Amino acid sequence: MTTKAATETPAPSARKPAFPFFDLKGQYAHIREEVLAAVARVFDSQHFIYGPEVLKFEEEIAAYVGTQFAIGCASGSDALLLPLMALGIGPGDEVITPPFTFVATAGSIARLGARPVFADIEPGTFNLDPEMIERAITPRTRAILPVDLFGLIADMDPIMEIAARHGVAVVEDAAQTIGAKYKGRNAGAMGPVGCFSFYPTKNLGGAGDGGIITTNDPDLAHKLKLLHEHGSPRRYEYEVVGANSRLDALQAAVLRVKLRYLEDWTEARIGNAARYDHLFTNSTCRDQVVLPKTPEESRHVFNQYVIRVPKRDQLRQFLQQAGIATEIYYPYPLHLQPAFAHLGHKPGDFPESERASAEVLALPIYPEMTPAQQVAVVSAITDFYSQA
């Protein structure tokens, strides 16, 4: 596949950004002593698998999300895979999901031999369009896998209603959305099961890979506990074929420290998003830039602040030269990726996802970002369009 964006964008080393896209070092500087103490606690105990850190973290996440159970696992990707396994999804089954998402969403379906059935997104929110879900339902549909993209929960009421009407499950990909709300309900508690990632750049990011699954269903929780531990209820007894997908005690210990800061960091992200909105609305580039939408009754937690712009790749290059790092999530929708060629799609099949891939640009939004840095970003974008 030719990578248009990649060829047009100078190598990141060409010029060191004046400020980065993420600032994990800045975040770490604030919590260094607490993180190191937590890591030392695990080393001193030599209890690296399960143990009190994992149990307490699972309890703390269940309390934060408002579910009865939370089951740690090895990654956000496994947090999607294990519930689909628990639902018995496999060859001959279909699961409806958007093509405009991270690869793991559809990958988790394909890894089980089931068919990802793509449904297009709603352009304002980048999330699954319920009307498109309805059109994609067939007698083979077993589940809907909506993604809460960039920090905004999908339009879950109609999705839950469609799922109930057709008797199919809902698995919520909340990998990017911890702390978000939809009509007073929390991300990960929308449907029967929620899936989170602790990839380091997530709003709650670990010191490596990690994930967690949330549910109120005791049967599902039981199956998930079995599946993430080789299908084993007791040592050397195996009820089903499972995986080794545990959350490390070291990750749990670090994440427990960071969970205490999550609300402050989330509020900082929301504040930064409001500042961008204000700066763009008052700039001469306001007619070029489409701002992210937060529907009423939603709390968007801005894992990413994603704008739509004309001449996106040229703008990105201009910003890079000005020392401003940006990202493109996602430059190619999944239906056009070689990994999903077996589904037989072609350009034009999901026009809103394709248009989003061509127009989106994620701006830095990390909690430690200063107002002056945000002013610099918006000024540079304004300069680009005033020269264009």
Ligand X SMILES: Cc1ncc(COP(=O)(O)O)c(C=O)c1O
Residue type at position 40:
A
Which of residues 27, 67, 77, 125 is near ligand X by CB under 6 A? Answer: 77
Q: Which segment (33-41, 98-106, 130-138, 353-361) binds ligand X by CB under 6 A?
A: 98-106
Residues from 10 through 69 that contact ligand X (CB under 6 A)? none
Tell me, letter by letter, the H, E, C secondary structure of 331-353. CCCHHHCHHHHHHCCCCCCCHHH
Give 4's DSSP letter: H
Cα 199 to Cα 76, 125, 343: the distances in Å are 7, 23, 28
Residue 214 binds to ligand X (criterion: CB under 6 A): no
Which of residues 179, 191, 211, 333 is near ligand X by CB under 6 A? Answer: 211
Least distance to ligand X, CB of residue 77, Å: 3
Can you tell me which residue has the tokens 């549909």?
A: 141
Beta bridge partners of 229: 244
Residues from 184 through 203 that contact ligand X (CB under 6 A)? 197, 199
Tokens, residue 238: 């195996």
Which of residues 62, 86, 104, 360 is near ligand X by CB under 6 A? Answer: 104
Distance of CA 385 to the CA centre of its chain: 30
Which of residues 120, 209, 313, 352 is near ligand X by CB under 6 A? Answer: 209
Residues from 137 through 176 that contact ligand X (CB under 6 A)? 147, 173, 175-176
By CB under 6 A, the count of residues binding ligand X is 15
Q: Which is nearer to ligand X, 213 or 279 (CB)?
A: 213
Tell me, letter by letter, the H, E, C secondary structure of 45-90. HCCCECCHHHHHHHHHHHHHHCCCEEEEECCHHHHHHHHHHHCCCC
Least distance to ligand X, CB of residue 42, Å: 20
Least distance to ligand X, CB of residue 3, Å: 19
Round to whole Å and give the CA distance between 124 and 290: 9
Residue by residue, DSSP assigns 293-314 as P--TTEE---SSEEEE-TTHHH
CA-based torsion, 57, 201, 221, 251: positive or negative: negative
3-class SS at 60? helix
Find the residue with minimal CB distance to ligand X: 76
Which of residues 67, 97, 101, 353 is near ligand X by CB under 6 A? Answer: 101
Which of residues 102, 280, 305, 350 is near ligand X by CB under 6 A? Answer: 102
Which of residues 27, 67, 97, 105 is near ligand X by CB under 6 A? Answer: 105
| Residues in touch with ligand X (CB under 6 A) | 75-77, 101-102, 104-105, 147, 173, 175-176, 197, 199, 209, 211
